[in-house]
Structure 1
Amino acid sequence: MVKIFEKDYKELGQKIKKRRLELKLGQEQLALLTAPKVDRAKISDIENGKEDFHFSTFLRLCKALDIDFIELIKKY
């Protein structure tokens, strides 16, 4: 991960986690809702700001979380 974006990835990961918890989903449940599947371990890394992930992965997570990616960025 590029160091200058580390804080941004952490904040985005926290937003994803917050939305997941609002929906009362576990990481494995969220993984099962993504297509193609995003592994539970990868979701954990994303939520903890440890993963430099592709935009397509972010879009799949947003779809599974039933939230527009712009809304997720703005709302939280």
Structure 2
Amino acid sequence: MVNKYLEIYKRIGFNLKQERKKAKLTQGQLAEKTAKLDASKISDIENGKEDFMFSTLLEIANGLGIDIEKLTKGERTNKTK
């Protein structure tokens, strides 16, 4: 992963985790709602460890039933997680 984009990946991962928890889904349950994703890949994305395609974000947003903007918005408020 390119370090200059690391904060963006972490922000998206943070937002994803918040939205998943709000939906009361485990990583495995979210994976079942998406095509081509498993729980470990969702975990990697949430932890800013995965370089992913835009279509992956679209698939996750669809699985959560949210607009993709909720995953890409704002700055991370808790930089330790």
Alignment TM-score > 0.5, same fold: yes
Mind listing any 5+ residue stretches in structure 1 that lack a counterpart? Answer: none
Q: Deviations over 1:3-61 (max 9, x none)?
A: 00001100100100100000110000000000x23111000000000001010101000
Identity of aligned residues (%): 49
Paired residues for 1:23-34 under 5 Å: 23-34=23-34
- The yes-or-no answer on 1:40 pairing with 2:49 is no
Does the aligned pair in 1 maintain the 2:9–2:45 contact within 8 Å? Answer: yes
Alignment length, in residue pairs? 75
* Correspondence for 2:55: 56
- Give distance in 1, aligned partners of 2:41 and 2:31: 9
2:46 is aligned with what amino acid?
E
1:17 is aligned with what amino acid?
K
- Give distance in 1, aligned partners of 2:45 and 2:59: 13
Shift of 1:73: 2.7
Q: Secondary structure at the match of 2:73?
A: helix
Does the aligned pair in 1 maintain the 2:15–2:70 contact within 8 Å? Answer: no
Shift of 1:75: 7.1
**CA 1:18–1:70 in structure 2 vs 1: closer, same or farther (change >3 Å)?**
same
User: Which consecutive aligned stretches of 4+ in structure 1 deviate over 6 angstroms post-superposition?
Assistant: none
Mind listing any 5+ residue stretches in structure 2 that lack a counterpart? Answer: 76-81
